[in-house]
Structure 1
Amino acid sequence: MTTIAILTPDPADSSYRGQWPQVLARLEGALAGADIVAVPESWVDHVEEAGGLTRFPLVLPVLLWGYHRDHARFMQAVKTWTEAGVPLANPASVLGWNSDKSYLARLEAKGVPIPPTRFTDRVTEADVEAAFAAFGAEELVIKPTVSGGAWKTLRLKRGEALADAPEGAAMIQPYLPAIASEGETSLLFFGGTFSHAVNKTPVPGDFRIQVQFGGTYVSVEPPAEAMALAQQVLAAIDEPLLYARIDMTRDGEGRWVLMEAELIEPDFYLKNDPRAGAGFAEAVRARLER
């Protein structure tokens, strides 16, 4: 048996306390099938000193949920892990840039279709008015560029006053009605190989597809166009990814657009995986044997 580490949330963060242990159990079960033991390690215990992680042949950051609430400390941890040579997968460099959603602009520059997006250092009424005018939309979605799980994300209708806007850097996009009618589709890749896909729909009247807001998850066979977009995204990233979740939906013209490339701590939705995580475990084993 090989022992590796899985980074887990800050014990003081109660936000995901009812979720992540179940996800960890599914990961542990899948890895056990490949003769791998996973040891949970809270990421906040390794911010300034990484010796406790260098003893593992592989460290998976797949459960460090909540890092966006303490982004400065997270970036310090990434620096510490990089300098110590912690065998991370995905790589520490990827964890750094993928933690700020401004990466979407870089992928767009490489030809990846994304929803119309305006980035701002601080959301103002003027930004909102300009976005409504530029997009010709009746509703906007505003979110911090550093966020997760719809944290501090707003849906704003034309004419509504801006309230509780995110502090700091944010992004503004038109609300895409397909989120309500068709949902968001996630394609999971392990070791560069497609594993499974999940469609996520919100409860009626909401736009948040996360399970904590009542979202429904269903296994699907992704259309060829969705698969093509996912492959385009991975090719544009062109880094050694052990795992990737590519989230997408359709825009107003019916074309698939990238919502996010989740490369840090995505839920793999193993409950919806026909192989129950065997593909993930095989990718981990292959990484260990490189």
Structure 2
Amino acid sequence: MTEIAVLTPDPEDSSYRGQWPGVLERLQAALTDVGVTTHPTPWVDHIEDAAGLKGFPLILPVLVWGYHRDHARFMQATRTWTDAGLPLANPASVLGWNSDKSYLGRLAERGVRIPRTIWTDGVTSEQVDAAFDELGAETLVVKPTVSGGAWRTLRLNRGDLLTDPPVGPAMIQPYLSSMETEGETSLLFFGGRFSHAVNKRPVPGDFRIQVQFGGSYETVVPPEDALAFAAKVLAAVDEPLLYARIDLARDAGGEWVLMEAELIEPDFYLKNDPRAGGGFGDAVRALLDRV
């Protein structure tokens, strides 16, 4: 058996305490099938010193949940891991830039369609009021560029007061009503190969699709145009990726747009994977065999 490291949440962060151990168990089961065991270790134990991670042939950062609430230290950790030349997959450089949603703008410059977006260093009521007309929308979504799991994300209708806005850099987008009617579709890729897709929908009256807010998840066969769109997203990323979750939705014109390219710590939705993580295990085994 080959032992690898898996980076886990800060033990002091109770937000996901009831959720991530089950995700880890599903990952471990998939890896055991390909002769791989895991050494879980909190990412916060390796911020300034990478010595505790040296010697592992592979380090998976797939459970650094909550990093967005400790972003400065997370960025410091990615620099430490880069300088130490650690075998992270996905690479530490990817973890760094993918942690700030401004990367969507750079992907857009490479031809990836995203929702119309206003970027701001700090959300104001005046900006939001103007955004309705600028974006031609009656409902907006406002969220920090560093976020996760709908953290500090607001849905605002024209005339709503802006209360408890995101602090610091943020983005303003039209709310896509298709999230309620068609949902968001997540396509999972391991080692560059498509594995499975999940459609996620919010409970009636809500806009958040995450399971902690009652969102429902269903395994689906994605249409060919969704697969082609996701392939275009992956092609726009320069670094090699062991895993990727590409989250898509349809805009008001019925076109696919990229909501997120989740390359740090996405839930792979292995409960919905017909192979129960077999594709992920195969990709890890192939990477280990190459190195």
Same fold per TM (> 0.5)?
A: yes
Name the % identity.
72
Give the structure 2 partner of residue 80 of structure 1: 80
Post-superposition shift, 1:26? 0.2
| Alpha-carbon distance between aligned partners in 1 of 2:122 and 2:87, rounded to the nearest angstrom | 36
Which residue is equivalent to 1:41?
41
Q: Which residue in the other structure is 1:145 paired with?
A: 145
5+ unaligned residues in a row in structure 2: which ranges? none
Partner of 1:163: 163
Question: Partner of 1:204 in structure 2?
Answer: 204
Number of aligned pairs? 290
User: 1:135, CA displacement in angstroms?
Assistant: 1.1
Instruction: Describe the superposition over 1:76-133 as per-residue Cα deviations: whole angstroms up to 9, x where unpaired.
Output: 0001101111110000110000000000000001110000101100000121022111
> Which residue matches 1:278?
278
1:93-112 aligned at under 5 Å gives the runs 93-112=93-112
Q: CA deviation at 1:176?
A: 0.3
Task: Show the counterpart of 1:265.
Answer: 265
Q: Which runs of 4+ in 1 moved over 6 A?
A: none
Offset, 1:222: 0.3
- Aligned-partner residue type, residue 151 of structure 2: W
CA distance in 2, matches of 1:25, 1:162: 41
Tell me which residue corresponds to 1:233: 233
What residue in structure 2 maps to residue 172 of structure 1? Answer: 172
In structure 2, how many angstroms separate the alpha carbons of the residues matched to 1:14 and 1:264? 20
For each residue in 1:218-255, what CA deviation from the matched residue of structure 2 results, as whole angstroms up to 9, or x when unmatched? 00000111111100000111320000000010000001
Q: Distance in 2 between matches of 1:6 and 1:267?
A: 14
The code of the aligned residue for 2:184 comes to E
Mapping 1:5-20, distance limit 5 Å: 5-20=5-20
RMSD between aligned alpha carbons?
A: 0.5
Q: Which ranges in structure 1 are unaligned for 5 or more consecutive residues?
A: none
Superposition TM-score, scaled by structure 2 size: 0.99
After TM superposition, list the pairs within 5 Å mapping 1:182-193 onto structure 2. 182-193=182-193
Q: CA deviation at 1:38?
A: 1.0
- The answer on whether the counterparts of 1:54 and 1:85 sit within 8 Å (CA) in structure 2 is no
